[in-house]
Amino acid sequence: MKKEYGFGILGAGLVSPFHAKSVKASQGGKLIAFCDMSKDRADKLATEYGVKAYYDLADMLKDPAIDVVNVCLPNHLHHQAVLACARAGKHVLTEKPPAMTLQETDEMIAACAQAGVKFGCTVQCRVRKAIQAIKKAVADGRFGTLLQADAVMKWFRSTDYYKSDAWRMSRKSGAGVTVQHAFHYIDLIQYIAGPAARVDARMTNLAHPDIHLEDTLYAFIEFKGGARGMVEASTAMWPGTDIRIEIHGTDGTAIMTGEKMSVWKFREEKPEDAEIRAIGSAAQSTGATGAADFGYLDHAFLIQDMIDSINTGREVAIPVASVRPTLEIVLAMYHSAFRGTPVTLPVKDDEKIWEWKG
């Protein structure tokens, strides 16, 4: 059995070093190369980490030392990259969102299944200990009837952040607070409360007039299981505060702020509750004030999980199929904001939502 797996990181942008540090920290993983169309970017990170540089994915996929490709490209480029990796027999860990449409996502899932390769998604906030405790409490029935699942993200990003890469100013490329930033936290409430039945969303630009994207989202969700949800997300709120996930039921309430469990109260106490209340640290950066202001330990969990899943043959911790319902909610939010009306799921792909100038 192979004990070491080679990783190639596709894309040499802002998030790539988090993947690189995670591979370096893993047991059984080895960083082989960075690949980017920009020679300067690829060379810079390759030199920093002492690995190869490629400037074309096809060339990197020919490298027999690479077993896993981490897709860290702009969001609209994930689809074709994942299909190429699957054809080459490489396992894939893609950044979120998995793709820009449900059809693309389904094609990627099918291609990886047909090729027999692992296909995971880095919605890494799912692995936070506070979220796992909440997920278990829901499964154990501790909340009673689940009533409300909310995500509040009041971050700050400067105009310079948006202008740092052309794709960050293009909704068609997967930019905008909803699909780019809030995706993680929409995913968390979907992960906890289940898929949605109906979405009503509004989007606006409060603080970035030079950037023709939404920097603020307000949305209401009706989940199929009966719970309601609210998402408030923005990159306009200086200086930025930690995200908050709130889960409320007839018998309990849990709130995660950043990565810390800030509220954990149930009608019936259990011996483990004191330990759960101590989960996390308010000092851990979670991206509120800057695009690189967070740690890499959540990413490291997923890198190690990929290695372990290859070794054991089990499914990865976060298969892309489990993230598809989150993408559908996000798409429904754009449909709703574009039309100015609530939207009932399922939704159909409609490229017009990415061309919307609202």
- Residue 351 sits in a domain of what CATH number? 3.30.360.10
| 59, two tokens | 């060339």
Q: How far apart are CA 78 and CA 159, in angstroms?
A: 25
**56 and 150: one domain?**
no
- H/E run at residue 53: strand 52-54
**228 and 305: one domain?**
no
**203 and 277: one domain?**
yes
DSSP states of 206-268 as a string? SS-TTS-S-SEEEEEEEETTS-EEEEEEESBSTT----EEEEEESSEEEEEETTEEEEEEESS
Per the omega criterion (within 30 degrees of 0), is the bond before 342 cis?
A: no
**211 and 342: one domain?**
yes
Give the pLDDT of residue 1: 52
C-alpha 267 chain-centroid distance: 33
Backbone angles phi, psi at 352, to 5 degrees: -60, -25
Q: How far apart are the first and last CA of the chain?
A: 53
The CA R_g of the chain, rounded to the nearest whole Å, is 20
- Beta-bridge mates of residue 246: 150, 255
**How many CB atoms neighbour CB 109 within 10 A?**
19
Looking at residue 322, the DSSP 8-state letter turns out to be: G
Q: How far apart are CA 223 and CA 17, in angstroms?
A: 36
Give the pLDDT of residue 290: 73
Kindly report the CATH number assigned to the domain that includes residue 303.
3.40.50.720
Residue found by looking up tokens 């070491």 in the block: 4
**254 and 346: one domain?**
yes
**44 and 83: one domain?**
yes
Could you tell me the pTM of the whole model? 0.96
Give the pLDDT of residue 116: 98
> Which SS3 state, helix, strand or coil, does residue 88 take?
coil
Give the pLDDT of residue 351: 85
Looking at residue 314, the DSSP 8-state letter turns out to be: P
Q: How far apart are CA 132 and CA 134, in angstroms?
A: 5
- Output the CA torsion 300→313→58→18 (10° steps): 0
Range of the domain at 332: 126-289+324-355
**117 and 187: one domain?**
no
**52 and 102: one domain?**
yes
Q: How far apart are CA 45 and CA 23, in angstroms?
A: 14
**120 and 132: one domain?**
no
> Which SS3 state, helix, strand or coil, does residue 108 take?
helix
**232 and 193: one domain?**
yes
**How many CB atoms neighbour CB 39 within 10 A?**
12
Give the pLDDT of residue 162: 95
**185 and 333: one domain?**
yes
Q: What's the structural domain count of the chain?
A: 2
Give the pLDDT of residue 283: 75
Closest CA to 183 of 101, 260, 95: 95
Looking at residue 27, the DSSP 8-state letter turns out to be: S
Q: pLDDT (tens digit, 0 to 9) for every residue of the chain, 358 residues total? A: 567 999 999 999 999 999 999 999 999 999 999 999 999 999 999 999 999 999 999 999 999 999 999 999 999 999 999 999 999 999 999 999 999 999 999 999 999 999 999 999 999 999 999 999 999 999 999 999 999 999 999 999 999 999 999 999 999 999 999 999 999 999 999 999 999 999 999 999 999 999 999 999 999 999 999 999 999 999 999 999 999 999 999 999 999 999 999 999 999 999 999 999 999 987 777 777 776 667 889 999 999 999 999 999 999 999 999 999 999 999 999 999 999 999 999 999 998 899 887 7
3-state helix, strand, coil in the chain (%, to 5): 40, 25, 35
**154 and 253: one domain?**
yes
